[in-house]
Amino acid sequence: MRITIVGAGFSGGVLATELARHAAPGTEIHLVGVPDSFGRGVAYGEARVEHLLNVRASELGADPDDPDGFAAWLHLGESARRTFLPRLAYGEYLHSRLLDSVLAARASVRLYAREAVSIERDGKAFRVTLAGGRDLASDVVVLAVGALPPQRLHGVGPRLLVDPKYIAWPWQRSLAGDEAMDRIAPAARVLIVGTGLTMADTVASLQRRGHRGPITVLSRHGLLPQPHADAPLPPIALPPAVLHAMNSGSVRALLRALRQLLPIVPDWRSLVDALRPYLQSYWKTLPKAQRARFLRHLRSHWEAARHRLAPETHAMLQALRAEGRLQVRAGRLLRAGVGADAVETLIRGRGQRHAVAERYDVLIRATGLDTDIERTSHVLVSQMRDDGLLSADPFGLGVRVTPQFEALNRHGLPVQGLYCLGPLLRGQLWEITAVAELRVAARNLAHHLLRERRRGAQAEPARPRAGSC
């Protein structure tokens, strides 16, 4: 079996590691990824020293059977295991783990620090074309590209799109190698669209660069991510009423059960964490109308509670708000264009009838995770969608797949040998963007592929021995 994994971030790297550890001789494994973040992924490969992990070190092992593996790799003491370390350290851990597995593998494992630009059917197999023109023949392809590039901000004019005052991605670099944020003057008035984890990283980077000007952050609901508790919380078990509500197929029933439970739990974060093991099964059973209701009314509130900040990062944001240097607003950016010496915007606050014209020196898009393949600018995903190899989740949450993560084509039929892994599975699983769920999904897919390999080998007709008739 020739397996090509496209995407060398967390999902692709962990899958390659699992396959390298367990695949028999004769299996060919190719891992393809962009050079800048190969083996680390964008989240950890493009992080800066001021960017902290959003999970304690003791819970971030890439092996589902060894959640303490990251902390052990760093030889951390007991107190350090409970802290939120820089994301750069986690990227090094993932890269080191991948290289160790390659060296120890019995199968053939090859790493390609090249972007994949095309995946096409080639008979019953696939042809993966890399930047530079090289083709990889593959029996199995796993699409593990992570989140897609954020979509263009609504209302941003064409002149502003190419103006230095607009930063479409906070960590983008120029051809000369300097970062876009390095060009922001210390006293600049900054507008950041997005109030999630990407925004928090952006503000942290501005602070490290000595920024002292006013910062406004804007999103539809104006909700900031909540902080983790200072110390690990004891786990709690969900009572029968909540479990029954999760089997009801009703978002309203679950919300009602949780509201009744909140006053008696010691900390709301324990309740959110207790829900996680059940969320994938819950999402699978939700009818489309209920999924739509959740996404329309509760999604922003859930993500603020579920995807939490390190206490240090949250404290930094709160201090800036107390000083008046950071303003958090709920509303919509209706228009942004290039003025004489500033970015001229039109913003309508949530619940307001009239929009207000405002001026800023810099506009930064920090809208975070995107998995909508219908509107993406991602070259490879767009090509596969247009060729009919992928079909979109109806709510823009990624791709449609079978329970084994095999992609469904435009006609809703499985594309034999083409699998997906990572955040593009949100339409199928919803809770599939964090380490705890991704590492389990990667292992399950690795075991599935190796079982298919063994079945294929058993089905092959025996070759005649030399000299036999």
Model confidence over 140-170: pLDDT tens digits?
Answer: 999 999 999 988 899 999 999 999 999 999 9
Residues 233-253 have pLDDT tens digits of 999 999 999 999 999 999 999
Decide if pLDDT at 351 tops 60.
yes
Domain shared by 323 and 204, yes or no? yes
Decide if pLDDT at 98 tops 50.
yes
Q: Which of 214, 151, 165, 168 is nearest to 338 (CA)?
A: 165
What's the pLDDT score for residue 469? 27
Structure tokens at 153: 């901000």
Pick from 306, 321, 356: which residue ends a domain? 306
Where are any strands of DSSP class E within 149-272?
A: 166-167, 190-193, 215-219
Domain shared by 27 and 103, yes or no? yes
65 lies in a domain? no
Domain shared by 207 and 173, yes or no? yes
Which of helix, strand or coil describes residue 151? coil
132 lies in a domain? yes
For the whole model, what pTM was predicted? 0.93
Decide if pLDDT at 219 tops 70.
yes
Between residues 340 and 421, which one has the greater pLDDT? 421
Q: Is the Cβ–Cβ distance between 179 and 173 less than 8 Å?
A: yes
Domain that holds residue 324: 158-227+308-365
Q: Is the Cβ–Cβ distance between 146 and 441 less than 8 Å?
A: no
Q: How much of the chain, in percent, has pLDDT values that exceed 70? A: 96
> Which CATH number does the domain housing residue 128 bear?
3.50.50.60
Q: Give the separation between CA 408 and CA 142, rounded to whole angstroms.
A: 13
Domain shared by 284 and 181, yes or no? no
232 lies in a domain? no
Q: How far is CA 218 from the centre of its chain?
A: 21
Q: Is the Cβ–Cβ distance between 86 and 52 less than 8 Å?
A: yes
Domain shared by 207 and 324, yes or no? yes
> At 452, is the pLDDT very low, low, confident or very high (cuts 50, 70, 90)?
confident
Domain shared by 186 and 203, yes or no? yes
Q: Which of 179, 156, 159 is nearest to 169 (CA)?
A: 179
Q: Give the separation between CA 82 and CA 87, rounded to whole angstroms.
A: 15
Decide if pLDDT at 384 tops 70.
yes
Pick from 306, 333, 350: which residue ends a domain? 306
